[in-house]
């Protein structure tokens, strides 16, 4: 458990003893940089003013490092908590920038020599890149500069806890980046940084934890990614997800993506085409009774039977990942004397028993999701079938081959898959043949001639 710095129990507050603005807040704030979000009027500013001791709870308790803040004066609290106001005009009152920044330092450390207070103030102004404006009147500067000056004033006080109320207001991209770096650097120094924000992209980039306020209560609290994953709950309280997360969801990326780097990694690690993710398909070729069972009509026997569990495991993985499982098996017409594969070999795969998937493989497939069965009567699963069309409709570009026989139907299917441009993966523990030399030859052909990945 992270060590709690601020412990808030059943906090209630009302400005006028009539309307409750905060309705029983319970929170434990630790060193994780924490963002507070919520629609206008949710009570966020009121909450941080209570933490800072500028308002007193109507009910409940705020503990700071184990001490009840009720017992601490505003001056004592000021030594521990710095609050940068939402509106800098509410904070700034001195006639020069340097005096403004020095004011807080002199308040928390009355004994500090003036020259030291001045150099500390200038260091803080350097952090916000405004040291060159130190002798100007803050009210001659822009709103964004005044916000940065109010940030410098609080940083200069070197408090353990720093609370920002809407730090990105009026900031352009450079200003936001600067504030982001300040927040990260304060946090790296071991300070607790809390910030109220309306900019969700900024929250996603900077904060580990997010607390969502709505109408005076906390409705969500947790790691940034898991809070932002709650799209519907956020919409209910008029909040949106970070834009990059929305984009990733539009593209149906599997993972929740918080920032641009995560998006790029996810994009690179997966294949996307036409705006959606490319899928994989497991092709189970001829793994049917007649080819596998001891008394099958054209059995490959024990080597084929040994694949059963491996194929079951692959089926589960593919279906769990939302990929496809496609059964492609021989289905011959007993009377078709023109079909060579019917006449060159003993009669096989012509009835229900002979065409049924072998053993437990049939039961392992959830046939209600991402499953297809295709009949063939040539070696290749593609020849004379709709397989290519079905795969393209499903955005499949990667085929995983299992079944029998490695050097006959698997090989012919792999050759057609190669010609049609599919990425081919052959599972060595998922393919077998009655002919060991043929099996070995086909494995090397997949790798060396068809560019397939052969994995075990
Ligand atoms: N000094 C005050 N006196 C009376 N009511 C107030 C006062 N300050 C705020 N309120 C009311 O308290 C409620 C919460 O205000 P608060 O400023 O805490 O919300 P907020 O979540 O910070 O909103 P925003 O995102 O707009 O800054 C609002 O209804 C507001 O009108
Ligand atoms: Mg506010």
Question: For residue 110, what are the contacts with CB-CB under 8 A and spacing of at least 6?
Answer: none
Ligand 1 atom closest to the CA of 198, numbered from 1? 25
**Range with the lowest mean pLDDT among 281-295, 337-351, 366-380?**
337-351
Of the pLDDT bands very low, low, confident and very high (cuts 50, 70, 90), residue 272 is low
Does residue 42's CB lie within 6 angstroms of at least one atom of ligand 1?
Answer: yes
Task: Give the distance (Å) from ligand 1 centre to CA of residue 44.
Answer: 8
Torsional sign, CA 93, 94, 96, 101: negative
Q: Whose CA is nearest to atom 25 of ligand 1?
A: 40
Contact call for residues 394 and 279 (beta carbons, < 8 A): yes
**DSSP state for residue 94 in the 8-state scheme:** S
Does residue 239's CB lie within 6 angstroms of at least one atom of ligand 1?
Answer: no
Question: In the prediction, which pLDDT does 169 show?
Answer: 87
209-221: average pLDDT? 97
Of the pLDDT bands very low, low, confident and very high (cuts 50, 70, 90), residue 284 is very high
Question: In the prediction, which pLDDT does 339 show?
Answer: 80
Tell me which ligand sits closest to the C-alpha of residue 237.
1
Question: In the prediction, which pLDDT does 273 show?
Answer: 59
Question: In the prediction, which pLDDT does 340 show?
Answer: 80
């065409």: which residue's tokens? 355
Does residue 44's CB lie within 6 angstroms of at least one atom of ligand 1?
Answer: yes
**pTM of the entire structure?**
0.70
CATH code, 6-240: 3.40.50.300
Question: For residue 398, what are the contacts with CB-CB under 8 A and spacing of at least 6?
Answer: 271, 278, 279, 280, 281, 422, 423, 424, 425
Across the beta sheet with 279-285, what order do the strands follow?
Answer: 371-376, 324-330, 279-285, 396-404, 423-432, 453-455
Pocket test for ligand 1, best of 11, 21, 35 (most atoms within 8 A of CB): 21
Residue 130, CB half-sphere, CA atoms under 13 Å: how many?
30
- What confidence tens digit (pLDDT) does each residue in 68-77 have? 999 998 888 8
Question: In the prediction, which pLDDT does 88 show?
Answer: 92
Which residues belong to CATH 3.40.50.850 in the chain?
Answer: 278-455
Q: Whose CA is nearest to atom 26 of ligand 1?
A: 40
Task: List 431's β-bridge partners, or say none.
Answer: 403
Contact call for residues 44 and 51 (beta carbons, < 8 A): no
417-438: average pLDDT? 96
Q: Does domain 278-455 have CATH number 3.30.420.40?
A: no
Contact call for residues 381 and 328 (beta carbons, < 8 A): yes
358-364: average pLDDT? 95
Of the pLDDT bands very low, low, confident and very high (cuts 50, 70, 90), residue 254 is low
Which residues belong to CATH 3.40.50.300 in the chain?
Answer: 6-240
Does residue 21's CB lie within 6 angstroms of at least one atom of ligand 1?
Answer: yes
Helix (H, G, I), strand (E, B) or coil at 336: coil
Q: Is 230 exposed, middle or buried (0-12, 13-18, 19+ CB in 10 A)?
A: middle
Does residue 37's CB lie within 6 angstroms of at least one atom of ligand 1?
Answer: no
12-35: average pLDDT? 96
Ion ligand 2 neighbours, Cβ < 5 Å: 45, 86
Query: Looking at the predicted structure, is the pLDDT value of residue 270 above 80?
Result: no
- What confidence tens digit (pLDDT) does each residue in 42-99 have? 999 999 999 999 999 999 999 999 999 999 988 888 899 999 999 999 989 999 999 9
DSSP codes of every residue in 11-58: EEEESSSSSEEEEEEEEEE-SS-EEEE-STTSSHHHHHHHHHTSS--S
Picking from 97, 93, 56, the residue whose alpha carbon sits closest to that of residue 73 is: 56
């Amino acid at each position: 458990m992270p060590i709690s710095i601020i412990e808030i129990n059943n906090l209630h507050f009302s400005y006028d003893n009539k309307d409750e603005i905060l309705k029983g807040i319970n929170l434990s704030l630790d060193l994780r940089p924490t963002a507070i979000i919520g629609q206008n009027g949710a009570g966020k500013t009121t909450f941080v003013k209570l933490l800072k001791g500028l308002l007193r709870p109507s009910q409940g308790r705020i503990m700071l490092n184990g001490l009840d803040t009720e017992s601490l004066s505003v001056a004592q609290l000021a030594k521990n908590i710095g609050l940068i106001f939402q509106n800098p005009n509410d904070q700034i009152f001195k006639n020069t920038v340097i005096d403004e920044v020095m004011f807080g330092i002199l308040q928390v450390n009355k004994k500090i020599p003036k020259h030291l207070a001045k150099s500390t103030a200038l260091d803080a102004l350097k952090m916000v890149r405004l040291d060159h404006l130190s002798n100007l009147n803050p009210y001659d500067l822009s709103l964004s500069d005044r916000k940065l000056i109010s940030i410098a004033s609080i940083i200069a006080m070197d408090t353990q806890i720093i609370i920002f109320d809407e730090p990105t207001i009026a900031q352009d991209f450079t200003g936001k980046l600067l504030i982001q770096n300040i927040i990260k650097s304060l946090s790296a120094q071991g300070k607790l940084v809390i910030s109220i924000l309306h900019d969700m992209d900024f929250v996603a980039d900077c904060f580990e934890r997010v607390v969502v306020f709505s109408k005076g209560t906390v409705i969500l609290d947790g790691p940034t990614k898991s809070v932002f994953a709650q799209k519907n709950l956020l919409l209910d309280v008029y909040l949106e997800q970070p834009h990059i997360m929305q984009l990733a969801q539009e593209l149906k990326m599997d993972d929740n993506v918080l920032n641009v780097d995560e998006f790029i990694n996810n994009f690179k690690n997966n294949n996307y085409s036409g705006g959606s993710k490319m899928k994989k398909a497991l092709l189970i070729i001829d793994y049917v009774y007649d080819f596998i069972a001891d008394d099958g009509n054209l059995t490959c026997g024990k080597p084929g039977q040994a694949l059963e569990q491996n194929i079951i495991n692959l089926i589960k993985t593919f279906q769990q990942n939302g990929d496809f499982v496609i059964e492609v098996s021989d289905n011959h017409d007993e009377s078709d004397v023109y079909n060579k594969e019917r006449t060159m070999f003993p009669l096989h795969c012509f009835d229900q028993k002979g065409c049924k998937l072998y053993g437990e493989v049939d039961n392992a497939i959830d046939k209600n999701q991402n499953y297809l069965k295709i009949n063939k009567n040539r070696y290749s699963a593609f020849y004379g079938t709709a397989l290519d069309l079905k795969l393209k409709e499903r955005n499949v570009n990667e085929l995983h081959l299992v079944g029998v026989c490695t050097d006959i139907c698997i090989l012919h299917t792999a050759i057609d898959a190669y010609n049609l441009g599919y990425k081919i993966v052959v599972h060595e523990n998922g393919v077998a043949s009655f002919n060991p030399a043929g099996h070995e030859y086909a494995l090397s052909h997949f790798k060396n001639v068809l560019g397939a990945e052969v994995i075990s």
